[in-house]
Structure 1
């Protein structure tokens, strides 16, 4: 069994995600999201979908980007 790097659970169905050349082991997508998903610069939620980005800053949606002062961003369709 492998051990989840977030919660420490030993699980026979753990999986590995390689991100930026480093392997990470998780027991659930929830733990993978907690560890790897970026956070919205405005509201702090984890960006699990496409999100939007301007100047290297990531937002969960155009609404948050606008509130943070970003100009001209639209949600992806």
Structure 2
């Protein structure tokens, strides 16, 4: 963790920043200078359109998708619907 007198280095962009923050995920600690870098490093990728999933997303057949449309296109799962 950083203090007012130290800087940490973002593991994505390499920026040294006195307000960097840590994220602990799946037993590992990561250091970032922005949410943008944290998302780039940690967010899952949609199996169909390859965008970063930063919302709820959906799962079908053990895969992650950004939306029901992508799940239907890739997994052929017609039963998946986005909330209305």
Range class of TM-score, shorter chain: over 0.9
TM-score, normalised by the number of residues in structure 1? 0.94
> Unaligned 5+ residue runs, structure 1?
none
Larger RCO of the pair (alpha carbons < 8 Å, separation 6+): 1
Query: 1:14, 1:45 → 2: CA distance?
Result: 25
- Larger Rg, first or second structure (1 or 2): 2
> Unaligned 5+ residue runs, structure 2?
1-6
Q: In the comparison of the two structures, how many residue pairs are matched?
A: 77
Query: 1:37, 1:10 → 2: CA distance?
Result: 22
TM-score, normalised by the number of residues in structure 2? 0.86
